[in-house]
Structure formats: C-alpha cells, structure tokens
Amino acid sequence: MNEWKRQTHAIRTQAEASSHKEHSVPMFLTSSFVFDDSEEMRAAFAGDIQRNIYSRFTNPNVAELSEKIRLMEGAEAGHATATGMAAVFATLGALCSAGDHILACRSLFGSTHSILTKILPRWGITHTYVDASDPEGWRQGIQDSTRLIFLETPTNPAVDIIDLEALGQLAAERDVTLVVDNCFATPVLQRPLELGAHISLHSATKYIDGQGRVMGGVVVGSADLIQEIYDFARPTGPALSPFNAWVLSKSVETLELRMEKHSQNAMELAMWLEAHPHADSVRYPFLPSHPQHEIAKRQMSAGGGIVTFRLEGGLEHGKRFMDSVEMCSLTANLGDTRTIVSHPSSTTHAKLTEEERLAVGITPGLIRISVGLEDMSDVTRDIEQALGRAVAP
C-alpha cells in the first residue's frame, strides 16, 4: 500500500468497510459510537485503544479524508476541520502562545490577515509581514520569539510564488515551524513537506471539493505537530461533519484530473489575456512573464487555476467588468468546475486598508479569475464582451 502512487491513494484509501462489505464507504452520520462494555469505553477515553468515540473527536469519514490528504502530501499525520479557516485558526492557536511571534507573508487571504491582526494580538501573539517579492525579508524578519513562519504560495489573490525550499532551509536553521497554505496548488501540483515545510494546510472547500458544494479544511504534517492541533481542536470544536467529509473524500478521487484541466485552461486564458489590449499585468505562475516563474516551475508541476489581471480605469472599470459578465459566476468561492470572477478590492480583501491592499498588489482594478472546466472558447467570449463593456466610453 505504501508503494501506491498519489492518484491510487486518492482513489483506493478508504475507511474500513462495515459488515455489508460495501465497495464505496457509506456515510457515518452519527454523533456518537457504542461500546461493548465499560472497560472498552474507559480505554477509548483514556487513549489506551484507538476507537471512534464521538464525531467531534473522530469519525470514519473524517479520518478517511485526512488519511487521503496525508498520503498525497507525504505527511506523518493529518486532521480535518469544518472549514479552511478553521484549519488556519486551529494551527495558529495550537502552535502559538502568549509572547510568540509569527513571521508571515504580507499577501494573505483576508480572513487570515484578520486572525493575525485582530484576534491573536488579544493573546499576546505578534506578527511581522514580509513582502513575497523580498526573499531576504524572511531572514531579516525572524526574531528570538518567532514560533512559526506562515505563508501561502501561490498567494491569494496576487499569485505570487515563494521559494519553499529556501524557506525550509531557513526554518531548519532557526528552529521555527514552517506552515504553508497549499490551497491554490493542492497536493497534486505542490507538496510543501517535501521542500522543508512542517505543516501543509488546505481549504478543502476550494479545489478538493471542486464543485462548490461543501466546506472543509485539512491540516497535515509531522505527527507531533498534528497531535498538538488535534488537542486544540478537540475541545474547541471546529469539527468537520461526516457528510461533508464523505463528499470531499469522493471528490479527491478526481482531484488530479481536475487540476490538470484547471491548469491547462488557466494557462490558455492567461496567454489570451496577455495578448488582449484591455488587460494589463496578467499574472499566472507558468507564464514566462511572471516574476517568480522559475521558482514556480521548480516547485509546482503545473500553474493551477487562478489568473489575475488589471483593468485600466481602476475601480469604475472593475465594477463595469463584473456587472458585464454573463456566463462566468460572481460568487465568494474559487476552485469550482465553473469559472468564477471576483474583484478582491471590494470583496475578499475589502477589510484591509487601501494602503494594505496596494502593498500586496491589490489595485482597485485587479480582477481574479478562478478558471473552471468549461470549453475555453465560451469563457473567453464572455470575458471579451465584458472587457469591451468595461472600457467603453
């Protein structure tokens, strides 16, 4: 089993079948599990035996999903949570204490920024931001109290690429924990643990589900760190529902095929936009024009499904573009089979100040496209007409 390839693990790794010996694992929609006697119950609660107790702690569907992602990432252990942000918060909350310092990439999802700037300071946990384009900033930013380094790569929404191998070496030198939000790349395109990271986490709501149905999060990494995260999550309750875990586990079976197609479509769209007269500063990791193109090619097997570009005319033209889209979706998600367009300045990153947005490349005219699996001629035709309306006098 350990010799299976990644895609085989995604399909064949399953929770133990019931007495019915079903081929596809059923949903274990139960809040608790029954014991044969008091001694078995005592031993389970004491941790003397591995046993499902209560679905806030353990559940076969949740364990199956965690195990699949663990194997795909090459990790020692994993833990699934209710959402991607629950995975982020459980990781930071479990691994940091009062007086600790976090060194983080400045370009982060808006909710992660809120945790760092508004919630963790209440506990006496501080942070310093480093620009994604400043490799030396990481080394300079580490303090004696730095507990962990936290980053996304590719970043949201600027799709900056950060050199994981270099940061893995730095983390080892300074004995700090390297945590990577691997949501945009997934285990199919990038495996941070192989490059020196200690923790890789995901919003399973995005590409792992891939169809805009359910929410979930997964954290994988070394066994000791995952145990700390589990011990934090067990009493605080960010539990993934068995139903959502079942859906996500089935979705993982097609993740590799979908990511290949997302990447193929996104590369096609990025090249098309780069040649378009009304699209400026097109960003896609595998475009030769991307400033960290060589790093992306080294640590990713494909560029993923996110493309960004800027519209001249700023906020006004950005709004016009969004209002002119006909087929593509305007929704608060990404990683869907359906192409989604968003305007980060007024939505996902609206809670940042204008100065903070500009510091990470979120200009008023920035458009983020999560490229879906439709025929690309239909996608480009929709974007073409929306661009025309956006810049019309």
CATH code of the domain covering residue 313 = 3.90.1150.10
pLDDT band at 392 (very low <50, low <70, confident <90, very high): confident
Asked if residue 1 belongs to a domain, the reply is no
pLDDT of residue 144: 97
**Cα-Cα-Cα-Cα dihedral of 210, 242, 84, 226, to 10°?**
-120
Number of domains in the chain: 2
CB 269 within 8 A of CB 118: no
Q: Residue 155: which domain range?
A: 6-252
In the block, tokens 């992660």 appear at 112
Average pLDDT over residues 87-100: 98
Over residues 294-314, mean pLDDT: 94
Residue 192, preceding bond cis, omega within 30 degrees?
no
The number of residues making up the chain comes to 393
- End-to-end Cα distance, the chain: 62
- What torsion, rounded to 10 degrees, do the Cα atoms 89, 92, 95, 97 define? -110
Q: Average model confidence (pLDDT) for the chain?
A: 94
Going by pLDDT thresholds of 50, 70 and 90, the confidence category of residue 316 is confident
For position 281, what pLDDT does the model report? 94
Answer yes or no: is 304 within a domain. yes
The enclosing domain of 20 has a CATH number of 3.40.640.10
- Least confident stretch, 41-50, 77-86, 195-204, 374-383: 41-50
pLDDT at 223 (0 to 100): 98
261 is a domain residue: yes
268 within a domain of the structure (yes/no): yes
pLDDT on residue 6: 86
190 and 248 together in one domain: yes
> Considering the chain, what percentage of its residues have pLDDT values greater than 90?
83
Taking Cα atoms as reference points, which of 74, 59, 69 lies closest to residue 25? 59
Q: What is the pLDDT of residue 353?
A: 75
Element housing 340 (H / E) = strand 340-342
pLDDT of residue 1: 55
Is there a single domain that holds both residue 228 and residue 142?
yes
How far apart, in Å, are the Cα atoms of 156 and each of 139, 216, 382, 387?
22, 18, 24, 23
Contact 147/176 with Cβ under 8 angstroms? yes
Tokens of 278: 């009304």
Structure confidence at residue 2 (pLDDT) = 65
Q: Is residue 15 part of a domain?
A: yes
Closest CA to 247 of 102, 61, 1: 61
The pair of structure tokens assigned to 306 is: 């996110």
CA–CA gap between residue 57 and residue 231 (Å, rounded): 10
